[in-house]
Chain A
């Protein structure tokens, strides 16, 4: 199976490309990137072809593409790939507007290609185990969820609203909302949020806190802040505390780590060894394409998480809870 990649604007591209290289049954055909020098750099690094134009890539015999452009470009590239009958794995968030997300979903459907959103956290071994425990019913009825998806400030286009759709809130809302929807089968009904630019000299917010009302009378909070300082031993976290009537589950997604102390780095570092979620994500997507199975994370899943992020922006501006059904 031949796979191409569109844009290396998002840092996860490197990890997905490495995953492709590890799969003997997959041929990584090459890279198209608007930024020619970036395309050259990564094409050389992985020893693959650099496509001069998007058309060249889409005219080639690849069956699927992985899109790691800026968030605002997801729609344009997805639509082009779908019209060329290529399956699409696109970085999260699905898009920056509901209109774009709908267009992506429809175009893929009309052209009979698969659309998967890159929510790799679903593939973390710790998360899969947490889901097994939830499914076993040991927690009883779920009452509340406390979650975090902290990170370091990524800089670059991530802090430009036109390209990213926002800052820390859009960047770090979608992963955990996807987990909540998938693991607990709950939907977000209403969102309240506090967000602000409090740490870095950037155009977007760097701190965010969502408080939500979910289906089944469950409530939740989610901290999306880019507030890990450069001295912090790792990039960030994904944590969830799930409160049930008969038990409490605490998930720390990246807790499988040891501490590294190195005189040159000067700070302690956490070395994670729990498993390569990006590899599992890419493999799963390609298996679905090859065997014509439904993808695990659909465009609709991506759309639902985007709704929550957009509701948070409205709530944070108005200082009032916002219903997700009112996000259009």
Chain B
């Protein structure tokens, strides 16, 4: 047994697996329990980490467990976070915090009442390129920030458990699920948003081919543009451009690939080039390490329930604007 905090993980899908890997490499936390409706998924994580397979209720009831990590589809966050808090566990919950502000409010209240910490998985704040840009902006490298453009996209929409991403009522679609990352980053960088106007394919066309463009006006004066796409070619990618009075930062993940591997096919014809990233530390691990360190009384950064709530507000405002065709004031 490792020293440190004991963690129970609920949801062993894509994100659950990423979090499990983080606990495996941390030396002040241990994944002791994992739960998933799909037994094989829990089993795969158990085999890698030595965690026990349990039900969510068993995890809540286990007094040796300090932290519950919720990696469930968005519409389930509220129920499980509230239950974990009521059981006296600190909670880490994937973004977006919830499907509605009402749910997010209940999560915040439950954690405050129970006196436990709540962390929301706004992992972009832990990506080294985004951190570097944040620091440089704060150090005045681009002067006063005027105009920011962000892109997040790929193709196709991921097919997850019960295809829940494709169900707008459950996931909130592209705007709530994916480009909330950029809303959260921008809010961290630029402060509160004043006004949101957005357009998207939702409600007018295809649901699987989702695409959205969002215009944001910040109280600081800055204007921002966020593009979200499940239709873009060339694999998952992100971009940001931060233009200010003294300079400009331009980032495109497609141009920042240290490795591109092309393996020729057996018949001698050329294969498809596949870019690979090479993290000094996986940002999901950095995120979890920070959360655990704070619980452990060390230095660390948490994106807490209030922050998760504010970023959720922007995403929901964008969805409202898409629906009504009108700007939404925050």
Contact = CB atoms under 8 A, between A and B. Distances in A.
B199 A144 contact: yes
Contacts of B200: 219
Contacts of B225: 209, 221, 223
Interface in B186-243: 195, 197-201, 204-206, 209, 211, 213, 215, 217, 221-223, 225, 227, 229, 231-233, 243
The 3 closest A-B pairs by CB, nearest first: A198-B146, A219-B199, A227-B243
Contacts of B222: 198
A217 B217 contact: no
A98 to B, nearest CB: 25
Interface stretch (A84-92, A115-123, A228-236): A228-236
Contact of A217 (B149, B205, B209, B213): B205
B248 A198 contact: no
A19 B269 CA distance: 47
Given A198-B146, A221-B225, A245-B205, 4 more contacts: A199-B245, A223-B225, A229-B248, A231-B248
B243 A194 contact: no
Contacts of A227: 146-147, 243, 248
Given A217-B205, A228-B248, A320-B327, A146 B215 contact: no
B144 interface: yes
A245 B209 contact: yes
A319 interface: yes
A198 B229 contact: no
Contacts, number: 106
B246 to A, nearest CB: 7
Q: How large is the interface on B (under 10, 10 to 19, 20 to 34, 35 or more residues)?
A: 35 or more
B325 interface: yes
A207 interface: yes
Contacts of B144: 198-199
A211 B205 CA distance: 18
Contacts of B246: 229
A100 interface: no
B326 interface: yes
Contact of B147 (A192, A209, A241, A319): A209
B326 A144 contact: no
A321 to B, nearest CB: 7
A81 B64 CA distance: 89
A83 interface: no
Interface string B64-82: 0000000000000000000
B223 A243 contact: no
Interface of A: 143-144, 146, 148, 190, 192, 194-196, 198-200, 206-207, 209, 211, 213, 217, 219-221, 223, 225, 227-229, 231-232, 241, 243, 245, 247-248, 319-321
B147 A144 contact: no
Nearest to A206: B146
Contacts of B146: 196, 198-199, 206-207, 225, 227
14 contacts: A143-B211, A144-B211, A146-B213, A206-B146, A221-B225, A223-B225, A225-B146, A227-B248, A229-B248, A231-B247, A241-B227, A245-B206, A248-B232, A320-B327
A195 B221 CA distance: 10
B50 interface: no
A144 B201 contact: yes
A162 B248 CA distance: 30
Nearest to B229: A243
A221 B211 CA distance: 12
B131 to A, nearest CB: 22
B128 interface: no
Given A221-B215, A245-B209, A196 B247 contact: no
B223 A319 contact: no
A209 B215 contact: yes
Interface in B132-179: 142-144, 146-147, 149
A320 B326 contact: yes
A196 B244 contact: no
A213 B231 contact: no
B309 to A, nearest CB: 25
Contacts of A229: 142, 243-244, 246-248
A209 B244 CA distance: 15
B278 to A, nearest CB: 24
Contacts of A148: 149
A206 B144 CA distance: 13
